[in-house]
Structure formats: C-alpha cells, structure tokens
Amino acid sequence: MEWGYFIIGCSALVLVVLSLIIGEIGEFIDDILPIDFGGDEIGMSKFLNSGAIFGFIAGFGFMAAIAMVAFDMGSTPAAGVGAVGGLVLGGGLGAYWVALKHSEGGVGYEIGQLVGEKGVVTEEIRKAGQVECSLNGRRSWHTARSESGRTISVGTRVEVVSAVGSIEIVKPEVRN
C-alpha cells in the first residue's frame, strides 16, 4: 500500500512541476473554475488554487508512504498522517501560487473593463483563441472564446460581450 501512496505523491509532484514550468495546467484550472460569491468573481487563485490542490495530493501521498515505512503504521492511520502532511504542503504551495500570481505584471486594468470594447482576432477562435484589444491606448492580447461556440477567423473584428476569469467572451462585430 505504501507504493500506492508514493505513486499518488509522485503524480501530484509531477503536475506541480509541469504547472510551474509550463504554466498552462494551473492557468487552465483557474480559468475553468471561477468561484462566484455575490457577483464578485474570485478566481481559484485566491484561496483554492492549483498549487494548493496539487500540494495537498503530493503531501498526502508522500507523508502516508513515509508513515507506513518509517513508523510501521497501517494504511488507515497513515492516511491520517498523509492528510496532515497534505494540508501543510498544500497550504505552503497554495500561498506560493498566490505570491507568484501577484508578482505577474499587469496591463493596468481589469479584464471586465474590456466588455463592450472592440478587438481583432489574432489566433483563430475554435474552443479558444486570442484577441488583440486596446484600452486607454494600451494594446493587449487575451485568450478568448466565441459567445456562440462557432469558429471565428483571424482578422475578424469582434466585440467583447463578457469576461469569465481571464477569458474574454466575444462575438463578431455587427457592422451597420
């Protein structure tokens, strides 16, 4: 059973390292799981983020395996030790994730301020693509999804209709 716990820990640790190096796993999870409390959107990175989740799983697996091998515990008491280890490592990695998020450079505005603004598709939008927008004279590029779910080609002018997390929801601009 200790090998099972060890494999759980290693799997989560691999996800932590990949997420830190590549940055996409955590961003994807943060983007698809926004938490809404009374209209103020709080992304997962505020308190329950990828680092905390992966850290908890890794800490749980490693500490449970160590408890079984070093202290000759059964699987149930080792799971309790693993849960405590998971809370400690998950809390530490979660705090580190938030610190990394706060250290990122910003564009000087919240993405919600782009609602109603126009942009141009720079990367074809299938499930997701990229849109270039300008606000207060500053150009920026944002991940975007089509409001209708249809593909929007590169070069198409679009209007931002809403924002979910860090993703713009756009529709092709209607020209009169």
Residue 105 clears pLDDT 70, i.e. is over it: no
Domain boundaries, the chain: 2-103, 111-172
Residue with tokens 């849960």: 83
Q: Which CATH number does the domain 111-172 belong to among 1.10.10.10, 2.60.120.260, 2.40.50.420, 2.40.50.140?
A: 2.40.50.140
> Whole-model pTM above 0.85?
no
Burial tier of 150 (Cβ tally within 10 Å: 0-12, 13-18, 19+): exposed
* pLDDT given for residue 45 in this prediction: 46
* pLDDT given for residue 81 in this prediction: 93
**Nearest CA to 9 among 81, 96, 71, 77?**
81
Residue range 53-74, pLDDT digits in tens: 888 888 899 899 999 999 999 9
Is-contact 89 83, C-beta < 8 A?
Answer: no
